[in-house]
Structure 1
Amino acid sequence: MQEYVVYRRVSTQEQGRSGLGLEAQDRDIALFLERFNPEPFAVVATFTDVLSGTDNDRPELAEALGVCRKTGATLLVSKLDRLSRKVSTIATLMEDKRVNFRVAQMPNADKFQLHIYAALAEQEREFISARTKAALAEAKARGTRLGGLRDKTMRRNAAIQANAAARAEKVAGIVLPLRDAGKPLREIADHLNRAGVQTARGGQWQASQVKRVLDRLSRAPQ
């Protein structure tokens, strides 16, 4: 019987945010167990930390890993960033021969692929941060007064634009060569799905989404 130890993490600010709350994590985990796990299985324990993703002191995660090492159960998380936002932490866990872990939203990903995804996600966060700071600096240089509700809206819009640009550049290495080879949008979307690359909302790629990525990449400064 395959045994799992479920680990969930949420920050106080994230509890009410769509896709990051405990209920959403539970749904992802239940879907994985129902459709992607060979029967029979058992969840031997569930642990939950309520703290920031940048906080390295995670007592419940430590407990969960302890149970995994003692029983041989596999650690199961809904998303890779629920385990950690740091690629170094993911790499350390991968080197621990007494711990195996699975990610519900990437049910077919092996350890090597998860390491790559963690590295890409870390780069994406760094890029988004840099783009947001650059957008704010440009706005300030144009004489836009920072502060108040208008500035909050501007920062939010800048972050959204930076996020979208970062996601487009993240998949450019797959999308652009296929488009240059004359592949249709639908086939490019199929390539992304087979590679395990998810959309911003964690779903499957469609031709229309590929087109938006290509349009954004064509507008990006060279």
Structure 2
Amino acid sequence: MERYVIYKRVSTADQGRSGLGLEAQARDLALYLETYSPEPFEVIAEYVDVQSGKDDDRPELTKAIDHAKRDKAVLLVAKLDRLSRKVSFISQLMEDKRLDFRVASMPSADKFQLHIYAALAEQERDFISQRTKAALKQAKLRGQKLGGLRNKTMKRNEALKAQADSRAHKLEGIVKPLREQGATLRDIAASLNAAGISTPRGGDWQAVQVKRLLERLQKK
């Protein structure tokens, strides 16, 4: 039986709380297990870090690697950059003969191909960084005021936040009592839709949007 230790990573605490990023990774991992994994298989553990891929010192990743080696399981990630954004770190994992890992989004790739992909991705990130710096430098030479653009962006973001807070306050009297009575996020979404209350973008409510609304109310 093939056994797996799953590792997921998101870069920010907001993504970790909301599930953004984690849901996509779970989808890709499930697709790999259902389509590409030898059968039968078993997922024996799952670890999640809320931390940048630039940091090699990630406690949950260390636990996942140790667990996979100890139980002779496969370390499974959704994408290669969930392990690390550094070629050097990925190379170290590849050289560890006690560790076997797979990347769900590249189910047929061997270690050599994964190494090339990691190197190319790192080069692309470096190029984008240099290109951004060069563009900012050229804009500065032309006399463009970069700070003004940032200030406008900040003001726009503040206005959007104020609108979101105001809308959340208006819905507080509906969603909080329902939640306190034990209604699920899906139940609350259905109630809002049935009442003809649309989302800020004019669409129907989903459970994840209700979750964000409740989180916003908790921060007040």
Question: Bigger radius of gyration, 1 or 2?
Answer: 2
Whether 2:95 is the aligned partner of 1:90: answer no
Q: Relative to structure 1, is the Cα distance of residues 88 and 107 closer, same or farther in structure 2, using a 3 angstrom cutoff? A: same
Q: Provide, for residues 43-63 of structure 1, a one-character-per-residue CA deviation record: whole Å limited to 9, x for no partner.
A: 000000111111221111111
Structure 1 residues 151 and 141 mapped into 2: Cα distance closer, same or farther (>3 Å)?
farther
Partner of 2:115: 115
Q: 2:7 maps to which residue?
A: 7
**CA deviation vs aligned residue, 1:138-195 (integer Å, no higher than 9, x gap):** 1111110011335787xxxxxxxxxxxxxxxxxxxxxxxxxxxxxxxxxxxxxxxxxx
Equivalents in 2 of 1:13, 1:140: separation in Å? 34
Q: What's the CA shift string for 1:198-219, capped at 9, x where partnerless?
A: xxxxxxxxxxxxxxxxxxxxxx
TM-score after normalising by structure 2: 0.65
Partner Cα distance (1:135, 1:86) in 2: 25
Q: 8 Å contact 1:145–1:151 — kept in the other structure?
A: no
Check whether the contact 1:7–1:46 (CA below 8 A) recurs between aligned residues.
yes
One-letter identity of the residue aligned with 1:11: S
Residue 83 of structure 2 is aligned to residue 49 of structure 1:
no
Counterparts in 2 of 1:152 and 1:24: CA distance versus 1, 3 Å: farther
Quickly say closer, same or farther: Cα 1:37–1:97, change in 2 above 3 A.
same
Partner of 1:61: 61
Matches of 2:56 and 2:39, distance apart in 1: 34
Paired residues, what number?
Answer: 152
Query: What 5-or-longer segments of structure 1 have no aligned partner?
Result: 154-222
Q: Distance in 2 between matches of 1:77 and 1:2?
A: 15
Question: Which residue of the partner structure matches residue 40 of structure 2?
Answer: 40
Superposition RMSD in Å? 2.1
Structure number having the greater helix percentage: 2
CA distance in 2, matches of 1:151, 1:29: 41
Contact 1:5 1:43 survives alignment (8 Å)? yes
Q: Once the 2 structures are TM-superposed, how far is the Cα of residue 14 of structure 1 from its aligned partner?
A: 6.7
Whole-Å Cα distance in 2 between the matches of residues 152 and 29 of structure 1?
A: 40
Runs of 4+ in structure 1 deviating by more than 6 angstroms, as ranges, are: none
In structure 1, give the amino acid aligned to 2:105.
Answer: Q
> SS of the residue aligned with 2:15?
coil
Contact in 1 for aligned 2:56/2:89 (Cα 8 Å): no
